[in-house]
Chains A and B, each alone.
Chain A
Amino acid sequence: MDVIEVRNLRKRYGDQVAVHDVSFQVAHGEIFGILGPNGAGKTTTVECLSGLRTPDSGSVRVLGLDPRRDRAQVRERVGVQLQESQLPDKIKVREALDLYASYYARGTEWQALAGELGLTGKLDTTFGKLSGGQRQRLSIALALIGDPRVAILDELTTGLDPQARRDTWQLIERIRDRGVTVVLVTHFMEEAQRLCDRIALIDSGRVVATGTPAGLVEKVSAEQRIRFRPSAALDDRDLLDLPEVTAVEQHGGQVVVTGTGNVLHAVTSLLAHNQIVAAELRVEQASLDDVFIALTGRSDS
């Protein structure tokens, strides 16, 4: 069952069209990524999902509800963490959790949530004294405090250090494991590739592709590149004779084989047959970055 259904969404501010035509569906229990460069219309899209903006045209359904008309119900069931929404500097973590829990009819036991998000030791710390990662965790806690069915998380890891980013990723997976459908807005390709079950790639207010990260990559480039350092000399021709191999390069003792399909298996079998050991073996696949560039013709991810 689709938890979110967006059809031909269009939103304009003055004569600036932020969203031209966006459609996608999100299934129950998915981590769905809305991916695209800054200014692509991602935030406007999720603001329409959250009922903060009224679309000029098109339809939005969240849990079968209209976020504008069924405002109250959507706000009870959809937890939102918006980009750049902070708290007063002097509010303590405990006060913020307690306060936001009181906003919801089904307020959860915030103590358990705080524990899960590693905030228990920080309950008496004020927001102004929290680190970036701690603020982000509190923000997630506030988005989840009403026990939502859907969590919309906008640019969650922007400005976090790599460790905090990784911790946040694990957290999002745990949220999904609780049965919450997650909509993740990001401009980090790596984040989307690592976390998302499916992705809508948005550019200039339009969806340019939808699919699984692997599916998108395959669609754009089925090629893989294998690099290794053979223990003995290797003839280019032996490699090129393999049907899966499309190109071979050798320089400085390093071999780079480009191919499609199960090229890795074909190459390693050949090496094993010739009793050659491949040192420093690397397999490179196209990434979402490549997908983005291929689909938009631009490289500013």
Chain B
Amino acid sequence: MNSFAKLTSVEIKLLLREPAAVFFGVAFAPILVVVLGSIPGFRKPVADLGGARVIDLYVPVCAAFVLAILGVAVVPTALAIYRERGVLRRMSTTPVPPARLLGANLLAGLAMGLVAIVALLAVGRIAFGVALPRQLLGYALALVLAAAAVFALGLVVAAVAPSGKASSVIGNLLFFPLMFFAGLYVPREAMPHGLRQVSDYTPLGAGVQALRDASTGSWPHATHLAVLAGYLAVFSLAAARLFRWE
């Protein structure tokens, strides 16, 4: 096994040894689908929602939840701790540059997220008859872009946070507005018009709508994909500029 594969497998093991990361990053979203799906009213088609059920709307929101918690809380905190404790510094004395550790950590977080999203789609389908994404390619594209944008935002958090604790606080502060606009508290469909327009231009508002469109069989709207790509570009640049290795 080469060093990057080894590094990634170690990073996955380390993530799995953090009970909080496993609970919030992997288990929580599928459990949320079960909890919401258990509310009888959420399983009835609603005329105002174009005949969709509330649970149908919440499955993409739960997918966004996975990206947000891993992207801005779990992964950046791990990276900030690595910097704080000199793990990156130690690595920079070896032939393998510490950027690989960053890459491995992101990959481990994404792998965990993928497991959680596959699990919540399966739970939604099996337990509550939520249709699997009909426009699979569009869904994959929306998911990849949304994940990339949110994880890039997480890198900015890891870049500016002076410590693991600070990173965790910043990550949690970011998590709530991200998820508010994604429709965790009020689904986007139930948002007032103005709020929904704002939501369209937030990473996970655009992300959830793109996932939702692909779920129902249409190609994600170009505006939403463009918003995600824009955030990805801005956050990546900022992270690359701001990131310090020690």
Which residues of A line the B interface, CB within 8 A?
50, 52, 72, 75-76, 78-80, 82, 84-88, 90-91, 95, 98-100, 102-105, 126, 142, 146
Chain A residue numbers with a CB within 8 Å of B90 are: 80, 82, 85-87, 142
B81 pairs with A88, CB closer than 8 A: yes
> Nearest 9 pairs between A and B by C-beta?
A85-B86, A85-B90, A80-B93, A90-B17, A102-B3, A86-B85, A103-B96, A103-B94, A75-B95
| Smallest CB gap from A92: residue in B | B13
Interface set, chain B 88-130, CB cutoff 8 A to A = 89-90, 92-96
User: In the complex, A8→B2 CA distance in Å?
Assistant: 40
User: In the complex, A22→B39 CA distance in Å?
Assistant: 73
A103 pairs with B86, CB closer than 8 A: no
User: In the complex, A172→B81 CA distance in Å?
Assistant: 30
| Smallest CB gap from A52: residue in B | B92
B93 pairs with A99, CB closer than 8 A: no
A168, chain B: closest CB distance, angstroms: 18
B86 pairs with A91, CB closer than 8 A: no
Chain B residue numbers with a CB within 8 Å of A50 are: 93
Contact with A90, one of B1, B14, B85 (Cβ below 8 angstroms) = B14
| Smallest CB gap from A78: residue in B | B93
B6: Cβ under 8 A from any A Cβ: yes
User: In the complex, A187→B82 CA distance in Å?
Assistant: 27
B66, chain A: closest CB distance, angstroms: 22
User: In the complex, A1→B77 CA distance in Å?
Assistant: 47
Contact with A98, one of B6, B86, B93, B94 (Cβ below 8 angstroms) = B6
A82 pairs with B94, CB closer than 8 A: no
Q: Given the known A-B contacts A75-B95, A91-B10, are A102 and B2 also in contact in the complex, defined by CB atoms under 8 Å?
A: yes
Chain B residue numbers with a CB within 8 Å of A90 are: 14, 17-18
B82 pairs with A103, CB closer than 8 A: no
Q: Given the known A-B contacts A86-B86, A102-B2, are A146 and B10 also in contact in the complex, defined by CB atoms under 8 Å?
A: no
B83, chain A: closest CB distance, angstroms: 11
Chain A residue numbers with a CB within 8 Å of B86 are: 82, 84-86
B7: Cβ under 8 A from any A Cβ: yes
User: In the complex, A78→B95 CA distance in Å?
Assistant: 10
User: In the complex, A76→B86 CA distance in Å?
Assistant: 20
Q: Given the known A-B contacts A88-B81, A88-B82, A90-B14, are A103 and B95 also in contact in the complex, defined by CB atoms under 8 Å?
A: yes
Chain A residue numbers with a CB within 8 Å of B17 are: 90, 126
Interface set, chain B 54-92, CB cutoff 8 A to A = 78, 81-82, 85-87, 89-90, 92
| Smallest CB gap from B3: residue in A | A102
A251, chain B: closest CB distance, angstroms: 53
B121, chain A: closest CB distance, angstroms: 29
Task: Give me 9 other A-B pairs in contact (C-beta within 8 A), A91-B14, A95-B10, A99-B6 excluded.
Answer: A52-B92, A72-B95, A75-B93, A85-B85, A88-B81, A102-B1, A103-B96, A105-B95, A146-B95
A82 pairs with B93, CB closer than 8 A: yes
**From A75, A78, A85, A100, residue with most partner B Cβ within 10 Å:** A85
B25, chain A: closest CB distance, angstroms: 15
A52 pairs with B14, CB closer than 8 A: no
A75 pairs with B94, CB closer than 8 A: yes
Chain B residue numbers with a CB within 8 Å of A88 are: 14, 78, 81-82, 85, 87
B11, chain A: closest CB distance, angstroms: 9
**From B1, B17, B90, B93, residue with most partner A Cβ within 10 Å:** B93
B10, chain A: closest CB distance, angstroms: 5
Chain A residue numbers with a CB within 8 Å of B81 are: 88
Encode contact with A along B1-24: 1 for CB under 8 Å, 0 otherwise. 111001100100110011000000
A85 pairs with B87, CB closer than 8 A: yes
Chain B residue numbers with a CB within 8 Å of A72 are: 95
User: In the complex, A143→B86 CA distance in Å?
Assistant: 14
Chain B residue numbers with a CB within 8 Å of A87 are: 85, 87, 90
Q: Given the known A-B contacts A87-B87, A88-B81, are A95 and B94 also in contact in the complex, defined by CB atoms under 8 Å?
A: no
